């Protein structure tokens, strides 16, 4: 390379860089927070776990699993058992959504789920793809009035069962309307960056460099599917 050469970072490289910065930032903030304010451990736990969940909602499964693994295995002294279990369920879900089925099942199998609330039980069953158990808890939760249909449409754990015909039929029977799942907002930041780069001032560089960019844009378009 010589002075004046254009340095090119593909969208894939840029996305990986953002993930690394985010993961490192979250971890160092959490460690610092807990050292400086030791009485706020529960608040820090909630902040970390909720952030991991938001990443899952946005379709950032790999980053979510890194953050939630840190929450479950990288920190000591969780003060609320429900929070710990919630993080475990979300970690297993992030693994499965990222295509890491074995890690998802290993994470769930490491815990005893026989005596938990219905919300935990149905979530674990959904990640495992156990339709019969999911339907059973759907009926219980709807009949008790604890849940309306929105929860089943919004929680990411139900991605694994939402295309199952008995699941959709039971949902319509219980709630009197068709099942309309909430979609993830995957790669939102990257898509914005690409749109801006396309709408920006045209480059005076040679055609060779413009053709070099195109495969990277196609890659991101393929990944978001």
Q: If we measure between CA atoms, which residue out of 58, 52, 61, 63 comes closest to residue 22?
A: 63
Rounded to whole angstroms, the Cα distance separating 136 from 16 reads 41
Q: Determine how many CB atoms are found less than 10 A away from the CB of residue 15.
A: 20
In a 13 Å sphere around the CA of 70, the CA atoms on its Cβ side amount to 22
| Mean pLDDT, contiguous 10-residue spans, the chain (225 residues) | 89 91 96 94 95 94 96 84 95 97 97 93 96 95 87 93 94 93 66 58 44 37 40
Beta-carbon contacts of 108 under 8 Å, excluding residues fewer than 6 positions away, are 88, 89, 92, 124, 127, 128
Rounded to whole angstroms, the Cα distance separating 196 from 148 reads 40
Q: What is the pLDDT of residue 222?
A: 40
Rounded to whole angstroms, the Cα distance separating 49 from 56 reads 11
DSSP 99: T
Q: If we measure between CA atoms, which residue out of 110, 10, 94 comes closest to residue 57?
A: 94
**φ, ψ (nearest 5 deg) of residue 202:** -70, 140
Q: What is the pLDDT of residue 127?
A: 97
What's the distance, CA 173 to chain centroid?
29
Q: What is the pLDDT of residue 200?
A: 52
Q: Determine how many CB atoms are found less than 10 A away from the CB of residue 78.
A: 18
Whether the CB-CB separation of 85 and 113 falls below 8 Å is answered with no
Q: What is the dihedral of CA 61, 30, 106, 77, to 10 degrees?
A: -160
């Amino acid at each position: 390379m010589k002075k004046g050469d254009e340095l090119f970072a593909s969208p894939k490289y840029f996305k990986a860089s953002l993930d690394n910065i985010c993961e490192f930032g979250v971890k160092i903030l959490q460690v610092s927070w807990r050292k400086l304010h030791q009485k706020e451990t529960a608040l820090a736990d909630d902040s970390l776990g909720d952030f991991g969940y938001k990443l899952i909602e946005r379709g950032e499964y790999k980053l979510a699993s890194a953050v939630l693994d840190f929450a479950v295995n990288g920190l000591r002294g969780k003060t609320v058992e429900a929070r710990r279990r919630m993080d475990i369920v979300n970690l297993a879900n992030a693994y499965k959504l990222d295509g890491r089925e074995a890690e998802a099942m290993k994470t769930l199998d490491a815990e005893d789920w026989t005596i938990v609330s219905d919300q935990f039980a149905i979530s674990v069953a959904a990640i495992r793809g156990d339709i019969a158990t999911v339907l059973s808890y759907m009926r219980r939760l709807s009949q008790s009035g604890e849940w309306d249909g929105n929860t089943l449409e919004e929680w990411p754990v139900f991605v694994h069962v939402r295309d199952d015909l008995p699941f959709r039929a039971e949902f319509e029977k219980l709630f009197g309307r068709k099942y309309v799942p909430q979609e993830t907002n995957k790669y939102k930041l990257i898509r914005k960056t690409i749109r801006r780069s396309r709408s920006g001032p045209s480059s005076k560089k040679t055609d060779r460099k413009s053709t070099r960019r195109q495969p990277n844009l196609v890659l991101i378009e393929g990944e978001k599917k």
